[in-house]
Structure 1
Amino acid sequence: MITDYSIQAVAINAIPLIFAITIHEAAHGYAARKLGDDTAYLLGRVTLNPLKHIDPVGTILIPLLLILTGSPFLVGYAKPVPVRFDRLKNPRIDSIWVALAGPGSNFFQALIWAILLITLIGFGINERFLLAMSQAGIIWNLGLLVFNLFPLPPLDGGRILAGLLPARQSILLGKVEPWGFFIVLGLVFTGVIGSFWMEPLIAFFKSVIYFVTLPLQILF
């Protein structure tokens, strides 16, 4: 939960947020290339350059509006990575893996930030900026992970659901896509996604990270 929007808080959050968004989008393109479609690679989207992934509305405007309205959660999106699903080796199954790559990258980033946080505390390194940045890295990545898993296109969760559903239901779900993000935004601003989706799932993934890092915690 982000409640401090001071200059110091912005500085602490900037690096993990940029990494979270950039690696998320690059992961989609990388997975697509490995599975047969090099569209994103040829367009320069399989890169860690954040400027290639910034969307004026999703990366800047929507988070700014949430800040101004005092939202307890900050969500947004980057410029979607272009994928030609018909070029994938196994379009139905591979589309699921391509969609999972982004949220998956956020989970591993959250895990890395958690390991860094535990290590800093374990060695008694009381550098407040690094500690706060590590905590922000966990929060941002879990937030992006859970938000993007919401099962409505064009979010990753919607594409995963479309790949799992029978063909007829998948086609019906695809018809929602032009309106999907407007529906999601409405659910965000009314607090529905925050209360009934993000909060419980973030708590779940925090517990997963806790158990994965438990040996390291015991070591220290």
Structure 2
Amino acid sequence: MSFLAFPLELIPYVVITLLIAFTVHEFAHAYVAYKFGDPTAQKQGRLTLSPLAHLDPFGTILIFIAGFGWAKPVPVNRHYFKNPRLAGVLVTVAGPISNLVVTAIALLLFFTSIRIGLFQLFPEFFQEGLQTFLSLFVRLNLMLFLFNLLPFPPLDGYRIIEDLVPNHIRAKMTKFESYGIIIFLILVITPLGDNTIFALLSNGIDYWSNLLISIFEPILRL
């Protein structure tokens, strides 16, 4: 029995997808923070599209084993922001949104390529491989988009909530943050996650993939 979350033949596709997805995600955090006046990530070499600057070894390995993972968090210093709450939310949400945007761009290019007959220039095995890669690329990027929006520390969804709630609630959240991390780990590591987090992610991925396909598929009929 394999200990990997993906079949061996899909591993090259997973690697390429993660290099793009993790890099774009963390670059988006760094770029928006820099635009709001925080040079922290830029000074640490994180304002780049080089995957080497963003990959977290353990988080990357885990996605091959468990099907989920993370990249190296981008450092953000809120003291540079003129409006810390607004800037904090926009910096945080930029990461997940970037994965959604990348997914949309991939589907747009795919359907446009079919429409103009670009696929017909390549052998059938290449077309099948590209479709397999696209399917995996879409699902993994949507997984990262939705996974990071879950309201558990240290995910982006939790940080967004922190910036939206009043200060007194934020202080209480900080006190219980360690418990939130434990609950999150229990849900993703134990079978409890099958009927909670992973069921939610699966339904969400299906919804967003179908929605994006319905938006771009009409290109084939133009």
Q: Indicate yes or no: 2:191 matched with 1:216.
A: no
Work out which of the two has the higher radius of gyration on C-alpha atoms and give 1 or 2: 2
1:162 counterpart residue number: 162
Q: Deviations over 1:66-96 (max 9, x none)?
A: 2xxxxxxx11001100000121121011100
Q: What is the one-letter code of the residue matched to 2:20? A: F
Instruction: Describe the shift of the 1:138–1:65 C-alpha distance in structure 2 as closer, same or farther (beyond 3 A).
Output: closer
Choose 89-98 or 166-175, whichever is displaced more.
166-175
Which segments of 5 or more consecutive residues in structure 1 lack a partner in the other structure? 67-73
Say if 2:150 and 2:157, in contact at 8 Å, map to a contact too: yes
1:193 counterpart residue number: 197
Following the alignment from structure 1 to structure 2, what is the Cα–Cα distance between the partners of residues 201 and 65?
Answer: 21
Instruction: Describe the shift of the 1:15–1:84 C-alpha distance in structure 2 as closer, same or farther (beyond 3 A).
Output: same
Secondary structure at the aligned position of 2:72 is classed as coil
Identity %: 37
Instruction: Describe the shift of the 1:56–1:183 C-alpha distance in structure 2 as closer, same or farther (beyond 3 A).
Output: farther
Detail structure 1 runs of 4+ shifted over 6 Å in the superposition: none
Q: Mapping of 1:18-167 within 5 angstroms? A: 18-60=19-61, 62-66=62-66, 74-122=67-115, 123=117, 124-125=119-120, 126=124, 127-167=127-167
Shift of 1:175: 3.0
Choose 174-183 or 148-157, whichever is displaced more.
174-183
Shift of 1:120: 4.0
Secondary structure at the aligned position of 1:202 is classed as helix
Q: Deviations over 1:95-122 (max 9, x none)?
A: 0000110001000111112123323444
Q: What is the one-letter code of the residue matched to 2:93? A: L
Q: What is the one-letter code of the residue matched to 1:47? A: T
Question: For the aligned residues, what is the CA RMSD?
Answer: 2.0
Shift of 1:207: 3.4
Choose 132-141 or 27-36, whichever is displaced more.
132-141
Following the alignment from structure 1 to structure 2, what is the Cα–Cα distance between the partners of residues 57 and 3?
Answer: 15
Instruction: Describe the shift of the 1:87–1:206 C-alpha distance in structure 2 as closer, same or farther (beyond 3 A).
Output: same
Choose 186-195 or 200-209, whichever is displaced more.
200-209
Shift of 1:65: 3.6
Instruction: Describe the shift of the 1:175–1:9 C-alpha distance in structure 2 as closer, same or farther (beyond 3 A).
Output: same
Count of residues paired in the alignment: 208
Question: What is the TM-score normalised by the length of structure 2?
Answer: 0.85
Choose 90-99 or 158-167, whichever is displaced more.
158-167
Shift of 1:179: 4.8
